[in-house]
Amino acid sequence: MFATLSDRLADTFKNLRGKGRLSEADIDATAREIRIALLEADVALPVVKDFVAAVKQRAREEDVSGALNPAQQVIKIVHDELVTILGGETRRMRFAKQGPTVVMLAGLQGAGKTTLAAKMALWLKEQGRSPLLVACDLQRPNAVNQLQVNGERAGVKVFAPEPGNGVGDPVAVARASVEEAKRTLHDVVIVDTAGRLGVDAELMQQAADIRDAVSPDEVLFVVDAMIGQDAVGTAQAFLDGVGYDGVVLTKLDGDARGGAALSIRQVTGRPVMFASAGEKLSDFDVFHPDRMASRILDMGDVLTLIEQAEKTFDQEQALKAAEKLSGRGGEFTLDDFLEQMQQVRKLGSMSKILGMLPGMGQMREQLENFDEREIDRIQAIIRSMTPAERANPKMIDGSRRARIAKGSGRAVSDVNSLVDRFFEARKMMMQMARGGGMPGMPGMPGMPGMGGPGGGKRGKGKQQPKKAKGRRVSGNPAKAAQEAAQAKEKAAAAGGNPFGMPDGEDVDYEKAAANLNLPKDFSKFLK
């Protein structure tokens, strides 16, 4: 949603890189670009004015203008101000001391209240609560049936005494739901109310009557984050007519510019409490202002990714995989690789997962074009192997690869690529599991261009000398192992050693060094 805003801010910060000191002109130019970026993102004008003024004031302070890296200082200022306008601190749901806790959802038709009610119920259920969904939207066709279907999918009971479709009294249903919750020992009641295509007196009156009937502990205003500036006006109208305690943003996975999310908190004074970013019932979470600010500035959202992984991953399977990678629990096989891939699939789409990593905004086009079916193709190839082949991929020779390719409906080159990538990934993961660090990091043997020993170029320094070409090795692991054994037999028959010298022969290194015209007194280093 915030792609356009993120790109504009990133371009703005690029102009500050390399500057030793921020001048008044630099600050004004940066503020102007930030103002344009926010306006293009459909952020409300009063919010833009306050935001830019705060950034300019802090950027003019001496410790920023004279900082060693002014660009990073400005990014930190913008991040802090984004956190402020998004609410500052995370607002948690309040629960009644003596249940049940009543949560009332209000908003316009089409904002996604009914689906959101089921998402919230599932989230509360995972928190150890016992929620009850209440169908008080008796106007919209099939709204009651929709809530019942979603409640069944979430495994949550739905209280729907009236059929809806214009039949029934929503105020009476809401009042009866509280008694039903007490009788059936449900500790949270989620009341789904009716909406309209626009704000009108009838809508406001019905919502106010339901509020008065059940005295909710939390009234949440559900707003579609894709409607832009109109979201702010609607939020203010509901605040004046009904009143609410917090805001829930839906459809954050859309392609809108995201101005509503940045404006509502500042204009209404009510915090954004929850956010929904997907069609699945599990696509619902607490809204964290600091994490959202980090996403906007392309700093990633690793904390949310970790939390989702903790909820999704099987701890026992993950522990077994870690033991195998560290060499204590056997060898990491293609079966383990497939299990880990299936665990990752439970987190959601790969583009969404990778988008939570820092710096991925620069690869947005590649992420958007990522083919999610590629994982299905990999699974098809692995499942076309025999158990023995999955346990020992080195035994997969040419004929086996042809059979696997035919069984999975893929080309032989796809099978070759998967096997090669598996060996490379296993080697990297084993090195990391044993404390060797990430290949390519400073001080570690790494990938070309990453700066470690054997890693090619180090920044802008000299390029490392190329290694001499050795014996060519086949890409087929089985054939490569056979060739290595043959080479070892030849070396043993020749009676040589790895250094090319006859066995048992002593070398006079001082005499050999004298013929090399080495610097004076260099011979002491040879002793």
- What letter represents residue 229's amino acid? Q
- Per-residue pLDDT tens for 439-451? 443 333 333 333 3
- The predicted pLDDT at position 365 comes to 61
**From CA 432, how far away is CA 429, in angstroms rounded?**
5
Binding site listing: 107-114, 192-196, 250-253
Q: Which residue ranges of the chain lie beneath pLDDT 50?
A: 436-469, 494-505, 507, 525-526
Query: Given this model, what pLDDT does residue 103 score?
Result: 92
Report the pLDDT value the prediction gives residue 434, as an integer from 0 to 100: 63
Supply φ then ψ for residue 341, to 5 degrees.
-65, -40
User: Parallel, antiparallel, or unpaired: how do β-strands 131-136 and 246-250 relate?
Assistant: unpaired
The reported pLDDT for the residue numbered 33 is: 84
- The interaxial angle of helices 24-40 and 3-14, nearest 10 deg, is 170
Q: Is 273 helix (H, G, I), strand (E, B) or coil?
A: strand
Residue 505: per-residue pLDDT: 45
**DSSP structure string for 361-406:** GGGHHHHHT--THHHHHHHHHHHTS-HHHHH-GGG--HHHHHHHHH
Would you state the pLDDT for residue 459? 40
What the chain holds in terms of domains, given with CATH numbers, is 3-85 (1.20.120.140), 101-299 (3.40.50.300), 305-433 (1.10.260.30)
Residues 105-145: tens digit of each pLDDT: 988 888 888 999 999 999 999 888 999 999 998 888 888 99
Q: Which residues contact 115 (CB under 8 A, 6 or more apart)?
A: 146, 150, 250, 276, 281
Give the contacts of 320 (CB within 8 A, at least 6 positions apart).
329, 336
How far apart CA 285 and CA 311 sit, in angstroms, is 12
Buried b (16+ CB within 10 A) or exposed e, 440-479: beeebebbeebbbeebeeeeeeeeeeeeeeeeeeeebbbe
Annotated binding site for GTP: 107-114, 192-196, 250-253
Q: How far is CA 199 from CA 240, 243, 488, in A?
A: 12, 14, 83
